[in-house]
A and B are shown apart, each in its own frame.
Chain A
Amino acid sequence: MSATVVTLWLLNILLDTFGQLSFKAAAAGPGLGTGLARWKAMAAQPWIWCGVACYVGEFMVWLAFLSLVPLSEGVLLGSINIVAVMIAGRFLFNENFSPLRTLGILLIASGVAVVGLA
């Protein structure tokens, strides 16, 4: 992988993880109410717009990334986002890691490493 491809790959991980966590922060806030009121309360939170901005950025970064790598390889390398979001969720939202979840994360990470380092 060239330096540009690696940079785009890292940017994609950062934007995807930060975007998902922003959505989570917006959705998990206390006292949001239900139904339409809930959506309005979420729309008033900066976090939701932070998430939207991340996703727009990720959209363009992913397009640039796919311009440089084959689609089959890109989709495999992109699987690392699952791992990044889970690890970030563990630290920020204290989500638990069962042994099976740890195994899944290790398998995905090693699969991405095999594809990326080949």
Chain B
Amino acid sequence: MTDLRRFYLIGFFVLVCFDTFAQVCFKLTANHAMPPEADLAWALRVFSSPWVYAAIVCYIGAFLTWMTLLEHAPIGPAFAASHLEVISVMALSVVLFNEHIGTPQWIGSALIIAGIVCLAISETDGDKPAA
């Protein structure tokens, strides 16, 4: 394996990890601050949770990793890596939160993942990225 390939693989892996843990931290924050209400008390409960700060750190980490990767990596695979956390988040939802993945979720996630792969390939082919 060349150094560049190793750089991409590690970079994408780090990006997916940051994105995944950010979502897990979001869910832990949400659970901590129950019930959700449009008032100051809820906002205070949110920011009294350590998980909200972990989520912010993961967001910043993901942003910095993304910017570093984009300097070198082709946009297509970078795009796919930044959105395929859907898979890892679903897996962790089952393990950490005992969530049940039903048939609609399986079908829906297969369609969404296929769509993300299509977009990633189309970006590699020279379309300008949307954002």
A residues with CB within 8 A of B:
20-21, 23-24, 60, 62-64, 66-68, 70-76, 79, 82, 85-86, 89-90, 95-96, 98, 100-101, 103-115, 117-118
Contact = CB atoms under 8 A, between A and B. Distances in A.
A114 B115 contact: no
A105 B105 contact: no
Nearest to A75: B89
B116 interface: yes
Contact of B127 (A62, A64, A66, A96): A96
Given A64-B36, A72-B89, A108 B99 contact: no
Chain B residues touching A, majority SS: helix
Contacts of B27: 66, 71, 74
Interface stretch (B5-13, B64-72, B106-114): B106-114
Contacts of B128: 95-96
Chain B contact-residue range equals 35 or more
29 contacts: A60-B43, A60-B46, A63-B46, A64-B36, A64-B42, A67-B30, A71-B26, A74-B27, A75-B85, A75-B90, A76-B90, A76-B112, A79-B83, A79-B86, A86-B119, A89-B131, A95-B128, A95-B130, A98-B125, A101-B118, A101-B122, A104-B116, A108-B116, A108-B119, A109-B115, A111-B111, A114-B107, A115-B109, A117-B104
A84 to B, nearest CB: 10
Contact of A107 (B26, B34, B115, B131): B115
Secondary structure at the A interface, as helix, strand, loop or mixed, is: helix
Contact of B86 (A70, A76, A90, A114): A76
B6 to A, nearest CB: 28
Given A95-B130, A112-B108, A67 B34 contact: yes
Given A71-B93, A101-B118, A76 B26 contact: no
The 4 closest A-B pairs by CB, nearest first: A111-B111, A104-B118, A107-B115, A118-B104
